[in-house]
Amino acid sequence: MVKKILSILLWVVTAAGLIVLFVFAREDYLHKPLKSIQLIPSTDTGFVRKTLLHDEIQHICSNKNIGTIDMLAVHKIMDDNSWVESSASYVDLDGTLNVSYKEYEPWFRVYGKEGHSVYVTRNGVVVPICPIYTPYVLVASGNFDLRSDSLTYQLIDTLDSDRNLLNALHWCEAIEENDFVSQCVGQLYCNKKDQFELTVKGFGGRVIVGDTCDAADKLRRLEIFMKQRIDSHELKNMKSINLNYKKQIVCTKR
């Protein structure tokens, strides 16, 4: 019985000692000055200038101990960055503030009716343009109503203002799935009737594809048509190629 009591007391004393050591170690850790800041991009598309982001975080962390760093302020800096999709931050045992983040990856650029332009991602997120980086992506222009602000937002299919952007997104998906067409399409255009047209390399006229109905079939017909005439002068005499008719291709001569 005495041995059992002594054994219990030993475990209690040991646990208490470990708790005390942990508390002292934690207090010592929290009072250490921040050693450095490390930015870790999982994708580096070019929108975020690491030096500027580092300086912005450094400004709120300078001369601070680890325990006094405002992590919410760090998170706010990342959340307020229009080109950062997600981020996470923590201070490691060496006293380094690690900030990992993922940039948005633009899929195509849209120029609206007023000349304002934005990028759109594969997931339908609208991202503002960046003064320090211009990626090479497919361009869409024409009858697009774009917001005048510079905020990042998700496209919503229930809003009329987003409808043409969503249709452009659908066309980009269809174009990418066709290897031949994806190599020769240079631009998307949305006319005043909300019908889409394509600019095709090697053809000086209009390629009318209309709405997004049967998009894959329309592009497949365009592929067959272009391959059959790729080395002929017939294309030079055409003003337009209209694919907006089921199982038909209607051409207009100059």
CATH at residue 169: 3.40.50
User: How many independent structural domains does the chain possess?
Assistant: 3
> Do 52 and 123 share a structural domain?
no
> Do 218 and 175 share a structural domain?
yes
Q: What's this model's pTM, rounded to 2 decimal places?
A: 0.81
> Do 111 and 97 share a structural domain?
no
- Which residue in this structure is represented by tokens 């994708």? 43
> Do 183 and 92 share a structural domain?
no
Instruction: Please compute, for residue 89, the number of CA atoms within 13 A of its CA located in the half-sphere on the CB side.
Output: 21
- 126 compared with 44, residue with greater pLDDT: 126
> Do 79 and 18 share a structural domain?
no
CA–CA gap between residue 28 and residue 32 (Å, rounded): 7
> Do 71 and 11 share a structural domain?
no
Strand, helix or coil for residue 153: strand
Domain residue limits at 87: 36-103
> Do 155 and 53 share a structural domain?
no
Q: Yes or no: say if 173 and 107 are a contact pair by the CB < 8 Å rule.
A: no
Question: Does the pLDDT value for residue 11 go beyond 60?
Answer: no
Q: Which pLDDT score, from 0 to 100, does residue 28 have?
A: 47
Question: Residues 140-168: what's their mean pLDDT?
Answer: 85
Which of 83, 103, 123 finishes a domain? Answer: 103
